[in-house]
A and B are shown apart, each in its own frame.
Chain A
Amino acid sequence: MSRPMLEIVALEKSFGDLKVLRDINLRVATGEMVFVIGPSGSGKSTMLRCCNRLEEPTSGAILIDGKDIVGCSSSALNRMRLEVGMVFQGFHLYPHMNVVANVMLAQIKALKRPKDEARERALAMLDRVGLRHRAETMPTQLSGGQQQRVAIARALALDPKVMLFDEPTSALDPELVGSVLAVMKDLKDSGMTMLVVSHEMGFAREAADRVVFMDGGLVVEEGPPEQIFANPKAERTQAFLSRVRA
């Protein structure tokens, strides 16, 4: 295997006495989509948030295209965060600016792109998620699914090398989930490297290259989706899947 785009090495994270992640090791190859599943509290979000240091790892290394994000200084961290796009369960669009300004802000302030270039890029990304016609709308006027697609456009506009998704569809009404998954599928087909925490099993089966099952701060089992869903080896995986399906 060539050098992975994202590599998590011996990652540990504790909140005080609570050990949330114990020795996580995970490699995501360029263009690969890896799904992370697991029970609530197993540390999925914490692992994802360590990958751009929204959560400070207790120990271990996280390599983005070969560069360690864990040890670096705060200005280097800001630069490295440009390479790691993140999409949150709750969208977190900026409510005081319109859609296109949401997508332009970090391009101008962090990437130092000229304004008209940033706007062009923002419109192109909005087009990609099917929302160019809503560019001048305020975020609160949009449906949840539309807001999430804008959030994806906001991350993509910075040309990240990796995209992290933390339950991107869990806050959405069922009928809006499809539009967000379609955008994610399109991203995957264009070669984006993606690490996705989600319980959309159907989507995982169809689009994921690999599925990782986490429990108790550990990677319990990983493999291609058919194998994990049809023939899970670990008992905990079997128990979790039967609970989710029930």
Chain B
Amino acid sequence: MDGLDRFLTTFFNARIFARYLPDMLAGVWTTIWLAAAVIALGLSLGLLLACLRAYGWRLANFFIICFADMGRALPPLVLILIIYFGLPGLGLRVPGPLVLILVLGTVLAAFAEEIFWAGLTSVPKGQWEAGRATGLGFTQTLVQIALPQAARLALPPLVNRVLAISKMTALGSVIGVSEILSVASTAQSFTGSAAPLTMGAIAYVIVFLPLVVLTRLLERRFAWKV
């Protein structure tokens, strides 16, 4: 066998590809819905917390800031292991997919809160004053005037963060959630071939490349604006 052949059978073995394709498709589907759930939970919770923070209630803000700092400081894997392997000790068994969604969703919420908040604080004071001076209430001004402008500023960093955290669904492989990486490494240990891992990598590219391209488009659009 020459080098190229060896390379191809190691990483691109067609028989192994064919055998594990159905499993891999199931894994892709799992990764997609897990990511979708994480994004939905993370963005809505992050947005809600940033809005709440705008009201300036001291106690609430203390907790929001603690939450955001903890969520950003802790490695998600640590939280996942604690909940998945620790809670059963208290008689509480949380299914793997749910652990993954809760932890990653919460971590995304911590980042999203900070990003939305940064957007809100950079809306000029005059915008608020114009709203309030025309008889709009605080909440109306927040929703109608400040948030749309904040969201615009938040969009590029938000998409980047969403991407980074969605990819962490691969951590599901540690707690038996059969997403892409999990399927690939199981197949790898059965076959002793690296081909399933290649397949997994290809699957990730297919799932996440569209998001990356979207980020680029957004960045370009925002570059024009300024």
A88-B140 in contact given A81-B132, A82-B135 (Cβ < 8 Å): no
Given A96-B148, A96-B149: A106 in contact with B135 (beta carbons within 8 A): yes
Residues 101-160 of B contacting A (Cβ, < 8 Å): 124, 126-127, 129-137, 140, 144-145, 148-149, 152
Q: Which residue of B lies closest to A111 (CB)?
A: B135
Give the docked Cα–Cα distance between A239 and B141 (Å).
43
- Chain A residues with CB below 8 A from B124, complex form: 92
Q: In this assembly, does A86 line the interface, its C-beta being within 8 Å of a C-beta of chain B?
A: yes
Q: Is the CB of B144 within 8 A of A52?
A: no
Query: Which residues of A, 68-82, contact B by the 8 Å Cβ criterion?
Result: 74-75, 78-79, 81-82
Closest to B151 in A: A96
A4 to chain B, nearest CB (A): 21
B13 to chain A, nearest CB (A): 53
Q: How far is the CB of A168 from chain B (nearest CB, A)?
A: 14
Bound together, the chains give a CA A177 to CA B155 distance in angstroms of: 37
Partner of A54 from B129, B136, B145, B149 at Cβ < 8 Å: B129
Most chain B beta carbons < 10 A, residue from A84, A90, A110:
A110
Contacts of A84 in B (CB 8 A): 133
| A109–B140 touching, CB < 8 Å | yes
**B152 and A78: CB pair below 8 A?**
no
Contact indicator B129/A158 (Cβ below 8 Å): no
- Would you give the 0/1 interface string for B37-62, flagging 1 where the beta carbon is closer than 8 Å to chain A? 00000000000000000000000000
What distance in Å separates the Cβ of B119 from its nearest Cβ neighbour in chain A? 12
Contact B136–A78 (Cβ < 8 Å): yes
A75 to B134, CA, bound (A): 13
- A96 to B, closest residue via Cβ: B148
A93 to B145 Cα, complex, angstroms = 10
Most buried by A among B126, B133, B145, B148: B133
Q: Tell whether A95 is near chain B: CB-to-CB under 8 Å.
A: yes
A106 and B137 CA atoms in complex are apart in Å by 10
Residue of B nearest to A110 (CB): B135
The contact of B152 among A81, A96, A154, A155, by CB within 8 Å, is A96
Shortest Cβ distance from B130 into A: residue: A92
Interface size class of B (residues with CB under 8 A): 10 to 19
List which A44-65 residues lie within 8 A (CB) of chain B.
Answer: 52, 54
Q: Is the CB of A106 within 8 A of B136?
A: yes
Q: With contacts A96-B148, A105-B144, A110-B140 known, is A155 near B134, CB below 8 A?
A: yes
Inside 8 A of A96's CB, which chain B residues have their CB?
Answer: 148-149, 152
Q: Which residue of B lies closest to A88 (CB)?
A: B126
Interface positions, chain B 147-175, Cβ under 8 Å from A, are: 148-149, 152
Is the Cβ of A94 less than 8 Å from the Cβ of B145? yes
Which residues does chain A contribute within 8 Å of B127, judged by CB atoms? Answer: 92, 94
Q: Which residues of the other chain, B, contact A155 by a CB distance below 8 angstroms?
A: 134
**Nearest CB on A from B152, distance (A):** 7
CB distance from B225 to the nearest CB of A (A): 10
Chain A residue with Cβ nearest B149: A96
* Smallest Cβ-Cβ distance to A53: which chain B residue: B132
Interface of chain A residues 152 through 180 with chain B (CB within 8 A)? 154-155, 158
Complex CA–CA separation, A8 to B135 (angstroms): 20
Nearest first, the 6 closest Cβ-Cβ pairs linking A and B are A106-B134, A110-B135, A92-B130, A92-B126, A82-B135, A81-B135
Interface residues of B (CB under 8 A from A): 124, 126-127, 129-137, 140, 144-145, 148-149, 152
Q: A92-B129, A96-B148, A154-B134 are in contact. List 19 more A-B contacts (CB 8 A).
A: A52-B133, A54-B133, A78-B135, A81-B135, A82-B135, A92-B124, A92-B126, A94-B130, A95-B149, A105-B136, A109-B136, A109-B140, A110-B134, A110-B136, A110-B140, A111-B135, A154-B130, A158-B134, A158-B135
30 CB < 8 A contacts A-B: A52-B133, A54-B129, A54-B133, A78-B135, A79-B135, A81-B132, A81-B133, A81-B135, A82-B134, A86-B133, A88-B129, A88-B130, A92-B124, A92-B130, A93-B130, A94-B127, A94-B149, A96-B152, A105-B144, A106-B131, A106-B136, A109-B140, A110-B134, A110-B135, A110-B140, A151-B130, A154-B130, A154-B134, A158-B134, A158-B135
Contact residues of A with B, CB < 8 Å? 52, 54, 74-75, 78-79, 81-82, 84-86, 88, 90, 92-96, 105-106, 109-111, 151, 154-155, 158
